Structure 1
Amino acid sequence: MRLFESPAARRQTLLRTGVLALVVVGVGVAVTRYAPFVTDPEWVRATVDRAGPYAPLAFVALQATQVVLAPIPGQTLAVVGGYLFGPVGAVYSVLGVAIGSSVVLVLSRRYGRPFVQRVVTDGVLERFDTFVDDYGLLGLVVVFSLPTFPDDAICALAGLTSIRLRTILVVLVLARTPTFVLATLVGDGLAGAQYRLVVGILVGAAAVVVGVYLCRERLLAALPTA
């Protein structure tokens, strides 16, 4: 299996990045026009504060749940976390992802391939089935560091390997943290109407994805097989 083994896979990666950027910008414009009070950071933080300690706990639980059930991309929730909680939202996102990933890894290791086949779609399973076996921990670092890849699904597949679960979890948290920090800064920027910052981060993220796409063959050649 290869990260960019087909033109369809490469187009899907670029498409997902573009759609995510358009959604973030579209939501920001819509909120500014039809619900401007929501863009007032003081109003947002006051609303969150009224929920007391339960708001962060609920958000962490939601991030953990999305890893297991994958109804919402984790980076999208990280944007929401930045909007609601400011920069500390990155901590809540990473904590939630760590908890959810721990659950997935344990279930994958305990119940094996039948569990993975239930939680991972056929298309993703076909494309990434032997990824961890082929590229090992370094491959996990690459995938978890780059946006748009199905890292939650690959987390489940990683649980089928002989790599220690603790090692996989540490690699996952360290590799995914920068992406969640950037997503959180986007949300915090939207809350503070810092649209130049938001656009700058989105453009930078898109540039990284495009750069990886253009250098895909060199990237694959540089990855030693496990």
Structure 2
Amino acid sequence: MSVGSAPATSAAAPADGVPSRRDPVRLAARLSPLLGLAISATLVVWGLQTGVLQSLENLQAFIGSLGAWGPVVFLLASTASVVFPIVPAGLLVIAGPVLFGALEGTVYNYVAVCAGSLLNFLIARHVGLSLIERIFSERTVEKFLGWTRSAHFTRAFALAITLPVAPDDLLCYIAGTTRMRWRTYVLIILLCKPWALIAYGLGISALVLRYLPW
């Protein structure tokens, strides 16, 4: 599917001059950060009241007490946050090494982020721009759609996935609307994602553990 073949208008656009009803997907995308913030604040309050967040040892002991459910819940939450950003995926990437240790946490980050990124591509390939423009702002989408018009888009995409500075989730959706082959996309994600996760996840989590008063 090429960019040119994707729907050019938003699903929420009015027809015949009659305002359409509020788009539930667009509304959910706008409210989801507030929901994520509320959930995070609730968990912090609960952690402080129960003593789980009083020290790193307490936190890791609690995660360990969950058994296999700890990694399973983390993997599901991290994968979901890549597909639909209720909680910024970057926060969970930092949390991985803190909760599970440097090696195990990085492996969990890699599995979850790669799974979410592959889902983004598949969703965009089957739905097109109509859904993407409902989740992200049209200005942001148009900005990065300009990349797809370059003959060097594949290289630029690979570089963006390698560096922890670009909006990876959006770029993965946009890549699904281009003529990029599934095989090429999978190779880029699997080979380039580790470097961003190591630089961002391990780097920031190390700073958090060093300066957080635990």
TM-score by length of 1: 0.63
Shift of 1:189: 5.5
Match of 2:145 in 1: 129
Shift of 1:76: 1.9
Match of 2:63 in 1: 48
- Of 71, 92, 99 in structure 1, the residue corresponding to residue 86 of structure 2 is 71
- Greater helix percent: which structure? 1
RMSD between superposed Cα atoms in Å:
2.6
Q: Whose radius of gyration is greater, 1 or 2?
A: 2
Match of 1:6 in 2: none
- Contact kept, 8 Å, 2:164 with 2:197, in 1: the verdict is no
- Contact kept, 8 Å, 1:132 with 1:140, in 2: the verdict is no
Shift of 1:128: 0.5
Identity fraction in percent: 24
**Amino acid of the structure 2 residue aligned with 1:166:** R
Match of 2:169 in 1: 152
The number of equivalent residue pairs is 163
SS across alignment from 1:194? helix
- Contact kept, 8 Å, 1:37 with 1:43, in 2: the verdict is yes
**Amino acid of the structure 2 residue aligned with 1:171:** I
* Structure-1 separation of matches of 2:120 and 2:174: 9
* Structure-2 separation of matches of 1:126 and 1:173: 26
Shift of 1:37: 7.1
Shift of 1:74: 2.3
Shift of 1:143: 1.3
- Contact kept, 8 Å, 1:93 with 1:180, in 2: the verdict is yes
Instruction: Kindly report which structure 2 residues correspond to 1:87-126, keeping only aligned pairs within 5 A, or say none.
Output: 87=102, 88-126=104-142
SS across alignment from 1:46? helix
What are structure 2's unaligned runs of at least 5 residues? 1-47
Shift of 1:181: 1.8
